[in-house]
Amino acid sequence: MQVTIQGRLYPKESQKQEINKLMRLQSSCMRYAYNRLCEGKSKSKIERDLKEKFSRINSRYRRGGYFRARDNFKSAKKLVKSGKLESEEKIVFGGRKNLKKREQGEITNKEWKKLRNNQIYARGDKSKQGNLNLRFIEKDKELYLRINVGNYEWIEVSAYLPDEKEKFLSGEEAYGVRILRRDGKYELRVSFEKEKEEKIDFEKGSIGVDFNHDTIDLAVIDEYGQLKDTKTIQCSNLTSAGRNKREWLIGHYAKKVVEYAKYWDRGINTENLDDVARKQSNQHEFAHNKFLEALERRAEKEGVALRGVNPAFTSIIGEWKFSDSYNITIHQASAFVIARRGNGIHEKLRGLKTLAFEAMEAGEGSESASNRRVHSWSLWSLIGNLPSHQGAEHTNPEPRPQHQLDWRSNHESRGLESSGTSAPTKRSSDKGDLSEGKIVKPGNGPPKA
């Protein structure tokens, strides 16, 4: 499993010039290789051309340029397949928005080139003590990145990494290094192979995840589909944050979800990335997709099993069947449905079926709807269009005391993370959906950071 950690580089002014030069040369090499890939040329042919045209950088930097081009080409092919890009040749290095700014004179040609030539990459090599061109070293107990600038010359630049420093300094493992320039600052991305930890699976149940505009709602179930706990993570600042802050927040929230799953020793059921599109392009949808991607990476890194389910009608089912019965929010109920659906539990309408058939017949005349074979999702769709819950059998045989309800309301109104229900709650009156005779006793979840 490949793991990437982030760090920072602190070059002096003279060192910045050397780094920027390398970025310009390798980025030009990458764009040339990308165009050759679009033409269908082979790897060996492209590498021969790169050797002839970019002799000012060594073979390892040229190879790094080729791998950058190959990764970009693979991403472009996915975009073309999904219909988001007309062809691989339509990729704009530096960003389409920045290109428009350049065409409109909002940025200079020099600024445009800086945006296009903003990174350098070198692959790791175990036989060369980790990485020959970009290698971490230690001097006076301080971390430095030794950069090969050509002509058998190196510069040593002060660096920072949050962890794994000893692994890189030992030289026993290969690690790839990418230097990114953003807003005048130099960031590090260090990638290496890490053995997978023991997998946390779905044997004991699962965690359902429901992502919304201002919250990430979680629900824990046991192996029988019984609710054990709920949790709400506030994320209202996600869509309004700047790019760098948003990326950090997405990773932070994904980490909290995985920590919650590890605490409960259960796998994660979440929405399929391909099924969450709402046929509109907005900031929430972008953050939603990025969160699911980050959650998948974090779960893989931490050894937590993750699988996606189709989220169709989960909010409607959660609202009509479970929200009142368990005294949880609609979004927590939706996460509950996602968790159960991922574990193969089919949600039946039971007492709501008559309402659904009445709604169907009201729209289609006198023909009897109850004699047809109708998919339950079609019936849930009709239920979702009804104006209220009236007629639903949602009795709670053991309602919680009023002071507990007031506590939960006050707790959520302060914007804190909700850790779930706190009193025993019997299963819903929709017999057959939940496990036979079991009593749900939600827990408090892991301690908050």
Tokens standing for residue 385: 């269009």
Same domain (yes/no): 23, 71? yes
Same domain (yes/no): 183, 217? no
For every one of its 449 residues, what pLDDT tens digit does the chain have, with 9 covering 90 and above?
788 889 999 999 999 999 999 999 999 999 999 999 999 999 999 999 999 999 999 999 999 999 999 999 999 998 898 888 899 999 999 999 999 999 999 999 999 999 999 999 999 988 888 899 999 999 988 999 999 998 889 999 999 998 778 888 887 789 999 999 998 999 999 998 877 666 899 999 999 999 988 899 999 999 999 999 999 999 888 877 887 788 889 989 999 999 999 999 999 999 886 655 544 455 567 788 889 989 998 898 888 999 998 888 888 888 878 888 899 999 999 999 999 999 988 877 665 445 444 444 444 444 444 444 444 555 555 555 555 543 333 333 334 344 333 433 333 332 323 333 333 333 333 333 443 333 333 444 454 44
Question: What is the distance of C-alpha 305 from the center of its chain?
Answer: 14
Sheet of 176-182, strands arranged across? 119-122, 176-182, 185-193, 2-10, 153-160, 142-150, 134-139
User: Looking at residue 40, what DSSP letter applies?
Assistant: T
- Neighbouring C-beta atoms of residue 445, cutoff 10 Å: 19
- Return the CATH number at 223: 3.30.420.140
Burial bucket for residue 302 (CB in 10 Å: 0-12, 13-18, 19+)? middle
Taking CA atoms, 41 is separated from 35, 37, 60, 90, in Å, by 9, 6, 20, 18
Cβ atoms of 173 and 193 within 8 Å: the answer is yes
Cβ atoms of 174 and 130 within 8 Å: the answer is yes
Q: What does the pLDDT read at residue 228?
A: 94
Residue 62 has, within 13 A of its CA and on its CB side, a CA count of: 17
Q: What does the pLDDT read at residue 405?
A: 38
Tokens standing for residue 284: 């929430």
Question: Would 334 be classed as within a structural domain?
Answer: yes
Same domain (yes/no): 83, 218? no
Cβ atoms of 130 and 162 within 8 Å: the answer is no
Q: Which residues contact 377 (CB under 8 A, 6 or more apart)?
A: 312, 313
Measured CA to CA, the distance from residue 114 to residue 292 in angstroms comes to: 31
Taking CA atoms, 35 is separated from 64, 76, 89, 120, in Å, by 16, 12, 8, 18
Same domain (yes/no): 181, 83? yes
Q: Which residues contact 359 (CB under 8 A, 6 or more apart)?
A: 382, 383, 385, 386
Same domain (yes/no): 107, 250? no
Measured CA to CA, the distance from residue 425 to residue 445 in angstroms comes to: 16
Measured CA to CA, the distance from residue 367 to residue 141 in angstroms comes to: 83
Domain containing 413 equals: 205-348+395-428+430-440
Q: What is the DSSP string of 128-155?
A: GTB-SSEEEEEETTEEEEEEEEETTEEE
In the chain, how many domains are there? Answer: 2
Q: Answer with the one of 193, 228, 245 that is the final residue of a domain.
A: 193
Question: Would 333 be classed as within a structural domain?
Answer: yes
Q: What does the pLDDT read at residue 279?
A: 47
Could you tell me whether strands 185-193 and 2-10 are parallel, antiparallel, or unpaired per DSSP bridges?
Answer: antiparallel
As a whole number of Å, the CA-based R_g of the chain is 27
Q: What does the pLDDT read at residue 440?
A: 39
Question: Would 293 be classed as within a structural domain?
Answer: yes
Question: Would 199 be classed as within a structural domain?
Answer: no
Question: Would 327 be classed as within a structural domain?
Answer: yes
DSSP H or E segment with residue 219: strand 215-222
Cβ atoms of 305 and 268 within 8 Å: the answer is yes
Q: Answer with the one of 131, 166, 193 that is the final residue of a domain.
A: 193
Q: Answer with the one of 138, 163, 193 that is the final residue of a domain.
A: 193
**Residue written as tokens 């026993």?**
172
Same domain (yes/no): 243, 271? yes
Question: Would 436 be classed as within a structural domain?
Answer: yes
Same domain (yes/no): 230, 179? no
Question: Would 157 be classed as within a structural domain?
Answer: yes
Same domain (yes/no): 219, 305? yes
Same domain (yes/no): 43, 96? yes
Cβ atoms of 97 and 64 within 8 Å: the answer is no
Question: Would 113 be classed as within a structural domain?
Answer: yes
Same domain (yes/no): 138, 187? yes
Q: What does the pLDDT read at residue 286?
A: 74
Measured CA to CA, the distance from residue 164 to residue 83 in angstroms comes to: 40
Same domain (yes/no): 295, 424? yes
Measured CA to CA, the distance from residue 177 to residue 130 in angstroms comes to: 10
Same domain (yes/no): 30, 170? yes
Measured CA to CA, the distance from residue 177 to residue 269 in angstroms comes to: 33
Residue 144 bridge partners (DSSP): 137, 158
